[in-house]
Chains A and B, each alone.
Chain A
């Protein structure tokens, strides 16, 4: 094979690989929207109806419990995780820590970032058992927050690093304290930080392995923070292969709701990043 044929062949292969991945993406989104959308459009009430008493057997009622469970678990988790993540990211900038310290902490963050979510689930469950508590909404929140923390920290750290140095220098030059400077820097990096929080939220709302053991897999409406709850991914996971067609169709409808939510969040993260850039000191002026 002469070198020009080889060049054409591999150029083609590279294009084909990218095309294949995009085709799979379109297929995954398409199948979910089509199969779930059909169920959802014929009966949109499933999303806002409470489940019946024998929900897992006959699919009576709807999956409002999973929608509410997702919201009640992931929203507080995102708030807690983003506060922690932004604080950690500020610490990792040079003002509070030496380069050595932040290198070491970064190494641990990388390990946490790569840790399989199931390990967080097992960890939180172990703590639940040790504490003699029962699996409930609040522990689901804890597990999701732990899962989101390294993801959000990475985004926030990258955003703060990308903030212009002039902002920091100007702030110190005016006699501001480290904390005041950090606040200005976060404002300058706000687009990236917000985008990171939204991406963390999207990851949290879509993850099943962390909450599978910790939230309690309830098939009733969530009662309070110490009652068992369930989330959309758990519901899909448990009902996707059910023998009852009605129960299975609820998994499809739930996946429709979930993918629409995730796609909207990803889109919002990209758009908001652009919008906030206008208000950031030292940022783009558009």
Chain B
């Protein structure tokens, strides 16, 4: 191509390339800032739409009132807040040890084909849609909790409730925490393992006192991100929590969480402007809390990395 090209054609081609370069750079810069713009737009929209409810009722009053009755202009978020905290703490209490132990298994014990197989199964688990977990929860976990677990612990349960949701959510968050924890465990240099084993520590002592500490920042941020996940989970709680607008009496009781509040009251969302505003405020709360978890994860990661240096 170069041999038959006259100088002017060559200049034309260069012009075209440079034009394409300039046009594409506008597009790419635009795309780069799209993330920031999208985030800003979401926050602005939600803030602007939740102003009506905040100007009508004080935030403190709404958070401490347990009466949720939009038709009578009563907006108490307390039952949903209590339910969300219950679900988050129970799921994480079950899911975190499970995830860390499984991560230790994948990173430190499993080898060769087994390791590849186990970690790809974890990837598959991460890709399964949450409606399917909800459906399997309805088929398997609801009867299990209602007929066996609750009676065994001396409680009464219809099967739907906070414990049911927590059991399912504990499994849903694990793949995500496992892959992050495995990543930080595997990033550790082998000298750490070798020197610890060399001074006579057992494998488990090495894992507990050296590796978990050195990988601590990564594991901590994985746990915090997991908290954010459970906190914002919508579909599984909506299918399994039983939808009750009073404060739950115990973990086997039905209840509601902040996201299920949005889902259940969707029908009223259009009709009463104040309800719409209240539910958008709930959405904004979710965003802010998840943002705090994410930001905390980043901060802890940086701080601990400096303190827990090896």
Tell whether A68 is near chain B: CB-to-CB under 8 Å: no
A1-31 Cβ-contact flags toward B at 8 Å (1 or 0): 0011011001101111110111011011101
- Give CA–CA (A109, B110) in the complex, Å: 33
Q: Is there an interface contact between B136 and A126, defined as CB atoms closer than 8 Å?
A: no
Question: A240 contacts which of B108, B175, B239 (Cβ < 8 Å)?
Answer: B239
Q: How far is the CB of B286 from chain A (nearest CB, A)?
A: 5
Chain A residues with CB below 8 A from B259, complex form: 116, 118, 209
Q: Are A262 and B129 in contact (CB under 8 A)?
A: yes
With contact pairs A27-B136, A96-B29, A241-B239 given, residues A119 and B102 touching in the complex (Cβ less than 8 Å): no
Using known A-B contacts A21-B122, A116-B231, determine if residue A262 contacts B127 with beta carbons closer than 8 Å: yes
How far, in whole Å, are A91 and B32 apart by their CA atoms in the complex? 6
Chain A residues in 8 Å Cβ range of B291: 111, 114
Interface centre among A105, A150, A252, by most chain B C-beta atoms within 10 angstroms, is A105
Whether A252 contacts B45 in the complex (CB less than 8 A), given A96-B32, A111-B39, comes out as: no
A109 to B35, CA, bound (A): 6
Q: Given the complex of chains A and B, what is the CA–CA distance between A29 and B133 in angstroms?
A: 9
Inter-chain contacts of B231 with A (CB < 8 A):
116
Chain B residues whose CB sits within 8 angstroms of the CB of A122 once the complex forms: 46, 262, 279-280, 283
Residue B235 at the chain A interface, CB threshold 8 Å = yes
Most chain B C-beta atoms within 10 Å of own C-beta, residue among A109, A180, A203, A237: A237
| Docked CA distance A116–B173 (Å) | 13
Across the interface, which residues of B come within 8 angstroms of A251, CB to CB?
Answer: 135
Given A14-B104, A17-B102, CB of A88 within 8 Å of CB of B31: yes
A179 to B276, CA, bound (A): 46
The segment from B15-23, B63-71, B147-155 that touches chain A is: B15-23
Contact status A3-B205, CB under 8 Å:
yes
Alpha-carbon distance between A237 and B121 when the two chains are bound, in angstroms: 25
Contact partner, B204, options A7, A117, A205, A212, Cβ 8 Å = A7
Q: Closest residue to A28 on the B side, CB-wise?
A: B136
Bound together, the chains give a CA A206 to CA B203 distance in angstroms of 41
Are A127 and B45 touching (Cβ within 8 A)?
Answer: yes
In the complex, the number of residue pairs spanning A and B with C-beta atoms less than 8 Å apart equals: 255
Chain B interface size band reads 35 or more
B51 touches A (CB below 8 Å): no
Check if A197 is an interface residue, CB within 8 A of chain B: no
Residues in A whose Cβ lies below 8 Å from that of B20: 177, 179
Contact partners of B205 in chain A: CB under 8 A: 3, 7
**Closest approach, in angstroms, between the C-beta of A154 and any C-beta of chain B?**
11
| A198-238 contacts to B (CB < 8 Å) | 199, 202-203, 205-209, 212-213, 233, 236-237
- 10 cross-chain pairs, A with B, having the tightest CB-CB distances, nearest first: A116-B232, A206-B129, A91-B32, A87-B31, A17-B101, A122-B283, A7-B204, A14-B105, A177-B21, A18-B105
A/B interface sample: 29 pairs, CB < 8 A? A3-B202, A3-B205, A18-B118, A25-B124, A87-B27, A87-B31, A110-B294, A111-B291, A114-B290, A115-B290, A116-B232, A119-B232, A119-B286, A122-B280, A123-B46, A123-B283, A126-B45, A206-B127, A206-B129, A206-B130, A206-B132, A207-B130, A208-B234, A208-B235, A209-B259, A213-B269, A237-B239, A266-B123, A270-B120
| Extra 7 A-B pairs, beta carbons < 8 Å, given A7-B203, A22-B121, A123-B42 | A4-B202, A10-B207, A14-B109, A91-B29, A96-B25, A111-B291, A119-B283
Residues on B lying within 8 angstroms of A by beta carbon are: 17-18, 20-21, 24-25, 27-29, 31-36, 38-39, 42, 45-46, 49, 97-99, 101-102, 104-106, 108-110, 118, 120-125, 127-136, 138-140, 171, 174-175, 178, 202-205, 207-208, 225, 228-229, 231-235, 238-239, 259, 262-263, 266, 269-270, 276, 279-280, 283, 286-287, 290-291, 293-295, 298
Interface residues of A (CB under 8 A from B): 3-4, 6-7, 10-11, 13-18, 20-22, 24-25, 27-29, 31-32, 35, 84, 87-88, 90-92, 96-97, 101-102, 104-105, 107-112, 114-120, 122-123, 125-127, 129-130, 146, 149-150, 153, 177-180, 182, 199, 202-203, 205-209, 212-213, 233, 236-237, 240-241, 251-252, 255, 258-259, 262-263, 265-266, 270
